[in-house]
Structures are given as structure tokens and as C-alpha cells.
Structure 1
Amino acid sequence: MTVRKDRRGMRRGRSAALTLLALAAVPASAKAQDVAVTQTPEPSAPYPRAAIGVGSVVGGYAEARWAEDWSALRDPERRKDVFDRLKYTPLSQDGEVWLSLSGEMRLRTALTTSPGLREGADLRLDTLRLVGGADLHIGRHLRVFGEMAHGGAGGDNYGNPVGAIRNDLAVTQAFFDVTGEIGGREVGVRYGRQFFIDGSPYLISTRNGATLLTPFNGIRGWVRGEHWRADLFDLHPTRLGTGDVSDDRTDDARRFSGLNVSTQVPSDWFGGSKLYLDPFVWRFRQDARRWGAETAREERTYVGARLWGAAGPAQLDWTLARQTGRFGDRDIEALQVFTTQSMRAGEGTGAPRISLRVDYGSGGGAYDGGVIRNALTPQGVPIFYSYQNVFNPVNMIAVAPGVTVRQGKTSVTGEVQFTWRASERDAVYRATDLPYAGTEVVEGRHVGEVWKLQLAHTISPRTSLIARYEHLAAGSVLKDAGYESSDYLTAWVNFRF
């Protein structure tokens, strides 16, 4: 691995950070503060906002910043500080044209021993995420959103990071959407570069573990009623370069399209619940997919459903996805199942929350020339299995009990993940869906355990600090193929407005 000590990106990032913070300190104009409140805030979607397929929103802040709703700040009395003024800046006298600015800065360092699960020098990677966004609302029905990001990287023995890790400048989002109402239902369409997180995060995500989040390009349309919603989409992933905005290209060799539906489960089920059932039909095409020694065009269809929410005292998130299609001239028959459930062990917010995660991704066929039984995610979150990105739910069985204890602004989570491969006739796969060479020819199923401990502390509503330690204890399959155990330690501070 090439040893590099690249400080240029970090220095450039620090300068951009100071610029971003200086921008945040500029107060809104006197005209903006004196605008009369003549209109009511924009109406929320008739379907529950938590289930419209835009990701979670915690404390007003979201992973996809356009999912936030700051329209209540049109009332000057609600603006408590300079950042609130940046979240709602009226550009017309009636307040119907307004601008919301957003920003994020994340400083992170990570140390990995035995990188790649091979004996070698330790790897240290320091990254800086800087993001600035602008959300322009032109009346109630038209919105334009733009977002740019910088990813700085430095450290020791970290090789050549991809564009999602180090990137001088990228347009991470640039779209417009139009919304309206037909027959009492909200309808809308969005076109451009956008984050897409409508579905189980095990299957589709922005991959927040990286420095830069990964967007899609294309179109999404929706209909939302009081008790159901439906979304259609046709998207291409973005291939991020490491330079300026000119090398971030739409990846025409991959295409992701489909239909998502959501409906509310009757609230009297399970002794009282707030559950959502989300069936989906997706199609994912890759022009040059590799399984074993063969590279071919792959077209994969996903048919499944997600059940998630609160059922009595328990929180659950269950997803089943059956996958069929063709890889070259070979059939695909694969299955993925993800189940997470948790429950508080006692009364009060300080009581521990006990969790259990059980995941399955089928495997087989990559090396024997038969039916492809390897499951595949379009763009899932590999950090569920390890923050050092050693596994993905391909030919995998994972069982992970855990516990979280929260006191005030601090939480501590511990988890141990027991991992096996589903088929002995196939390899163990990395987070990139590439195999660990040699694991396909050794016997056994035991891949190993991942021991995890994480501390999270909320410094302020806008600032958080997280530290995490992981130990991967290699099992017989990895050891017999020449791989070894690894330790991983990371910490990061995140500020957003």
C-alpha cells in the first residue's frame, strides 16, 4: 500500500471551515427581520412525515437537509439566535419566497490495525467533511435545492482514497421539485441530483460513514394521502471523483428504478402500535458486474416489504427482499432478511435498551457456474457490520445482541456480532462486495466476531461527539485463508446548522 501524508486537502478544508463559520455569524438583514407574517406555515404532508421516505429527522436536523422544515421560523419571535436567522430568510414581503441555509462540519480520525485483515503497518485516516447548502422556496409549490461539499483527507498509510473519502469539491445535490394537490392528496416530482433514502437503510442509503454522502441522479415522483403513499423513481448513482466538480459524473452503467408504497398498520395491533408496512418493487442494473471469475451485465429485480415502527413497548425494523434476474446467461435467485428489535428493560429514560439484530444474505453460485444465489444491496450501509467496512450482507448470517444505556446527553452502546457465511461453497465478502481472496476454497462457516463499544455525547443541539472501538476476532474461515484479526478506533465531532 502506498504511504501518503497529504495535508493539502486538510489545509484547504480548514480555510473553508473558517469561511463557513464566518458566514454563520452574519445576521439576517433588518428587512428580513421586519417582514410581516401574513401567511400560515406550509402544510405538512398528509401522510405522517416520519414515513414519507426522506430519512429520520432528529431535533429538526436530517441527513438529507431538504427534509427539514423551518417554515415555523417565519415568525420572528421563534428565531432565538443567529443560526435560526439563517434557517429562514424571507425574500418577499409576504414571506412566501424564502431561503434556508444549511451547513455541516465533521472532523474525524480513525486508526486501523492489520488493514485489509492482513499483517502490515497501522492505517490512520483523518478526514474533514464540509457541506454548505441552500434551500430556496418559491411559493408553496416550487423549491430549488443546492448543496456542495469538500472532503479533506490526511494521515498515514492510507493509500489513494476514493472520491467519497477525499474530494476537493463536489456538487452533492442540485435539484428542483414541484408539489401540488389533486383530490385532497399531495403530489410532487423532483428532478436532479439528490439523496435517495426511501427504504430500509440495509438496502439503500447515502453511506454516511464516508466523508461525502453519495447521491443519485434522476427523477422521483410521489402521491401522499392520509393513510398511504406511493413513490416512483428512476435514478443513476453518482461516480465521485477526487478533484473539482467536473469529475463527479452520473454513472450510466448502473440504473436503479422502482416503486415504493407505504401504509399504516392499524394502531390497535400488538396491544397498541405505530407501525408502517412498506412493500417495494425495484430493479437494479449493472453493465459490468463481477462474480467469481466472470464479469457480465446483471439485471436484478427486488420484491419485498419492510415493517417498521413501534409495537407496544418494542421498536422493530424488519425487511425481506427476494431477488431474481439474470447475470449474463445465468439466473439469479437470492434472498436478504434484516431484522432489528429493541425494548427498554425497565421504566424511565435511563433504563437500558436491549436490542437484537439478525441478518441473512444468501450466497453461492459465484464460483460454480450455476445459479447466482449471492444477495446484493443497491447501496446499503456496511457500517452496520463494522465501521472499518470489512463485511457486507452477501453470503452472510449475522446475529448481534446489544445494549444501550443513556444518561442525560450521553449514551453508551455495546454490541457483539457473531458472523457466519451462509454457503461454504462461496467466499466471504467485503463492504465493496468484493471477495476475500481464498475464502472460497476453505472449509467451514465461522467468519468471526465483531466486538463494538460506542460513546455518544450531545454537546449542544447542533454539536455532537462520538467515539467508537471495534475488535474483529477472525474466525476459522478468515484464518485459514491467511487473514487475521483487527482493531479499529475512531472519534469524530460533528457540527451542523
Structure 2
Amino acid sequence: MRSRSSYQWVLTLGADLHLGKHFRAFGELARGPMDGKNIGLPSGTLSNKLLVQQAFVDGTTEIGQVDVGARVGRQVFIDGANLLVANRDNNTVQTSLTGVRAWARGSTLRADVFDLYYTTYGNGGIGDDPIDWGRRFSGVTTGIVLPKQLLGGAKLYLDPFVWRLRNRAVTWGAEKAREERTYVGAHLWGDVGRFTIDWTTNHQGGRYGDRPLDAWQVLLAGTYRLGKANTAPRLGLHFDYATGGGAYDGSKLRNAFAPYGNNIYYSYQGYLTPTNLVALAPSLTVSPTRTLRVTGEYQFTWRDTVSDAVYRSNGTPFTGTAGVGGRRTVDVARLQAIWSVSPRLSFTGRLEHAFAKSGLTAAGYQDSSYAALWASFRF
């Protein structure tokens, strides 16, 4: 295999203007170039000379005991489960969308309504990051604070959601067609004693061209703290199931899809995404000191449907994997260390080795290793 190495950095500059209590204007520029060896043609989210990352205005007020507001413009939008909508911290620049969102938030209930368009990122200056009018993300996310008496003092939150993702040109297999995908699901998260849970399930319906769409995702993660202190070791386990099928045989499309989720959850290298995926991963997190946290994990990965492909983090298939090889795709061993030197300075190191299995090796793919180091300084 050909090795590659790269270095990149990102600088953001923001301005926040408040006009009285109820009106605000916010702008943010970002610069994040990439350079190195054998980096190919990086996307605009990985290498961008300059872009307007956010530019919005919002208005807020209070009606009774409820905070209400609306925001219009380009914005970072992450109201939802991390595996479905996320900043994607492996990218140089954050995912931002353009449109409108409005919210109402009380002490135990909330609702967030939105209608947003994606951004097409170029590698150059401010002028090459236009709105992509062909990709539209809209819906409503609600939130319920569950009663603490439910499980003896538990702090749990339930976020039901209904979303629609529309894309004028989606490629599955050899076909490109318009897709309208509707998500109906819920996100349950919080603490139950020493347990921390993060559970998401959703059904995805709609149409892909003239074909019906019928897909599911069940994404379950949890940790158990082995002592009373926050620095006590934690045992973790996550299980993820995302349906697959229909991309290559013209039948009902069963490939699940996340709008813009946190794909490094499955592989730092971008090997996997919750499409045609079954994953099981135990982990252990230890904190040798108050400022250092180390997590080790080993993930076993299969595909739901062998006749369909193995899919990368950007939603594209590994060429030649559809119908080739077995159900096992790749095992992923990885280690992450986060050293919080001070409230403003932190370092993150990541190591990973991917052991290719028959679902990939039968198509000619091999093992792969990865190492990265980040420094973050806020001033």
C-alpha cells in the first residue's frame, strides 16, 4: 500500500454583535489548508483556504415561561443524535447549512423546527462555498426531560424527531435518481446511576426514483463507571445496526443513511458509515490523572446484506465489494488519548489499525493503519 501523511490546521475568527436583549448578528470565518505527501485531492471540508463558516441573525424573546427564537442564515446545526448530525471533528471545517430554524424551550419540553440547505465546499477562497439548492434538510426535533423518579434519580432525556432529507441526485449502485427520505425516530440519552446511555433508533421511508425506500437504524451505546469518582475507569459497549440492500438489484431500497453523522465513531480513517452495517465494540476508558483520559476499543464489523457493498464514511461504496466476499468486513482496533493541559489548551492523539476481512479482501483491499495528533488552543 502507498503511505500518505498530511498536516493541517484551522483558524476561526468570529464576531458576535448583540443589539439589545432580543437581537443578535454573528459571523465566523475559517481557514484550514492541508499539505503533505500523497494527499490526493482533498475535499473542501479537509482543505479550505477561506470560507464563511457561519453568518446569521437571530431574535429571541420569552413568552410566559417559554424561551422562543428564530435564526436565519448560514449556521452550524447539530440538534440531534451525534451519529446522525454532527460537527465531524475529523474535518478541518465544520459542517454548516443555510436556512431558518425556530425553537421554543420550556423547563421540561422543547421543540426545534428547521428548514436548511447544505453547503458545497470548494478548496479556495470565500467565493467557492455556495449553497447547494439540490440538498435540503428539514423537520422538527422535540425534547422531553423524563421524571427523575422514573428510575430512582436518573437523568434521562427523550428526543423524538421527524425529518426529511431531499436530494435531487443520489447515486446508489449504478443508478442516480432523486431521493426523498423521511426519518421517524427517537434519541434516548442520559445517566442512570453509574450507567451512561446513548440510544437512537429510526425508520427511514420515502422514495428513491420510482422505488420505495424502507430502512432502519438502531444505534445503541453505553458505559458503566467502575467507581464513584468521575475519573474512575469506564467499561463501554456499542452495538449498531443499519440495514442495507437494493442498491444493485433494482428492488426496494433498504440502505440506511445518516444526514451528516459522526463517522469517526466507527473508524478514524473513514472506513465505515451506518449504511449496510452491523458493528459490536467493547471499550475501556481510564484516567491515570485528572487531565488525561485514554480509551481503547476493538470493533467487530459485518454488513447486513452481502449482495450490497461496504460503504465508506462519505456514503460511497468500496468499488467491487457488492456481492463479493463474506459478511465480515473489517475489525478496527484503536486507541485515543486526550490530555487537557489547561482550560484553553488540549492535545488529542489517535491510533488505529483496520484488519480487512473477506468482505473487503475479496475485492482486493488490505489492512490499513492510521495515526494523528491534534492540538487545540482557544484564546
Give the TM bin, normalised by the shorter chain: over 0.9
Instruction: Tell me which moved more, 340-349 or 210-219.
Output: 340-349
- 1:261 equivalent among 142, 156, 159: 142
TM-score by length of 2: 0.98
Q: CA deviation at 1:348?
A: 2.5
Match of 2:306 in 1: 424
Match of 1:332 in 2: 213
Partner Cα separation in structure 1 for residue 345 and residue 70 of structure 2: 33
Alignment of 1:2-401 (within 5 A): 119=1, 121-401=2-282
Paired AA for residue 241 in structure 1: G
Contact 2:101 2:112 in 1 (8 A): yes
Q: CA deviation at 1:399?
A: 0.6
Match of 1:487 in 2: 369
Partner Cα separation in structure 2 for residue 278 and residue 209 of structure 1: 26
The SS at the match of 2:331 is strand
Q: CA deviation at 1:183?
A: 2.9
Match of 1:450 in 2: 332
Q: CA deviation at 1:464?
A: 0.3
Partner Cα separation in structure 2 for residue 226 and residue 345 of structure 1: 32
Q: CA deviation at 1:369?
A: 0.6
Q: CA deviation at 1:349?
A: 3.4
Partner Cα separation in structure 1 for residue 278 and residue 14 of structure 2: 39
Paired AA for residue 8 in structure 2: T
Paired AA for residue 411 in structure 1: R
Q: CA deviation at 1:206?
A: 2.0
Partner Cα separation in structure 2 for residue 156 and residue 127 of structure 1: 12
Match of 1:478 in 2: 360
Please list the CA deviations of residues 7-61 of structure 1 after superposition, one character each: whole Å capped at 9, or x if unmatched.
xxxxxxxxxxxxxxxxxxxxxxxxxxxxxxxxxxxxxxxxxxxxxxxxxxxxxxx
Partner Cα separation in structure 1 for residue 350 and residue 235 of structure 2: 19
Q: CA deviation at 1:441?
A: 2.3
TM-score by length of 1: 0.75
Match of 1:76 in 2: none
The SS at the match of 2:10 is strand
Partner Cα separation in structure 1 for residue 53 and residue 273 of structure 2: 25
Partner Cα separation in structure 2 for residue 193 and residue 182 of structure 1: 26
Q: CA deviation at 1:350?
A: 3.6
Alignment of 1:401-416 (within 5 A): 401-406=282-287, 407-416=289-298
- 2:349 equivalent among 439, 442, 467: 467
Please list the CA deviations of residues 254-286 of structure 1 after superposition, one character each: whole Å capped at 9, or x if unmatched.
000001110111101222211110000000001
Q: CA deviation at 1:186?
A: 1.0
Q: CA deviation at 1:481?
A: 1.1
Please list the CA deviations of residues 397-456 of structure 1 after superposition, one character each: whole Å capped at 9, or x if unmatched.
011110110121011110011100011111100111111111112142101210011111
Partner Cα separation in structure 2 for residue 160 and residue 292 of structure 1: 23
Partner Cα separation in structure 2 for residue 230 and residue 493 of structure 1: 36
Partner Cα separation in structure 2 for residue 352 and residue 226 of structure 1: 33
The SS at the match of 1:208 is coil
Paired AA for residue 364 in structure 2: G
Partner Cα separation in structure 2 for residue 241 and residue 481 of structure 1: 32
Contact 2:199 2:219 in 1 (8 A): yes
Match of 1:35 in 2: none
Which sections of structure 2, spanning at least 5 residues, go unmatched?
Answer: none
Q: CA deviation at 1:134?
A: 1.3
The SS at the match of 2:322 is helix
Contact 2:325 2:361 in 1 (8 A): no
Partner Cα separation in structure 1 for residue 349 and residue 106 of structure 2: 41
Partner Cα separation in structure 2 for residue 155 and residue 408 of structure 1: 35
The SS at the match of 1:253 is strand
The SS at the match of 2:67 is strand
Paired AA for residue 294 in structure 1: E
Partner Cα separation in structure 2 for residue 184 and residue 270 of structure 1: 27
Partner Cα separation in structure 2 for residue 459 and residue 311 of structure 1: 30
Instruction: Tell me which moved more, 322-331 or 402-411.
Output: 402-411
Q: CA deviation at 1:203?
A: 0.5
Partner Cα separation in structure 1 for residue 362 and residue 282 of structure 2: 27
Partner Cα separation in structure 2 for residue 484 and residue 390 of structure 1: 12
Partner Cα separation in structure 1 for residue 252 and residue 325 of structure 2: 21
More helix by share: 1
Q: CA deviation at 1:322?
A: 0.3
Larger radius of gyration: 1
The SS at the match of 2:235 is strand
Paired AA for residue 328 in structure 1: G
Paired AA for residue 408 in structure 1: R
The SS at the match of 1:252 is strand
